[in-house]
Structure 1
């Protein structure tokens, strides 16, 4: 429940980032390829992960 600001979008492309920004949803970039991660960061993704394990490690127990 709640608005888009209470959810998070995980995406692997600039268009995913732009979509999340358009609706006011926090965004986490994810890609296994270093070049793609660099593109996400350059596009303005505030967080870019190399592995979903990083995300799991950040979640509370």
Structure 2
């Protein structure tokens, strides 16, 4: 069973890649903030794959 904010997958060459899931709201501000964090993560860890998950939140 897969749990947590990350998982591991294999690319076409058999290389193991770490995938990190980032959850966010669909609002413009939330996406800007999430994209900023995702960009920084990719800068620090270029070998990871990020999986952005957008959710509808109703109050």
- Which structure's residues are more often strand, by fraction? 2
Is the TM value for this pair above 0.5?
Answer: no
- Which structure's residues are more often helix, by fraction? 1
- Mark the structure with the bigger radius of gyration: 2
Q: Please indicate the TM-score interval, normalised by the length of the shorter structure.
A: 0.3 to 0.5
Q: Greater relative contact order: 1 or 2 (C-alpha under 8 angstroms, separation 6 or more)?
A: 2
TM-score (normalizing by structure 2): 0.35
TM-score (normalizing by structure 1): 0.34
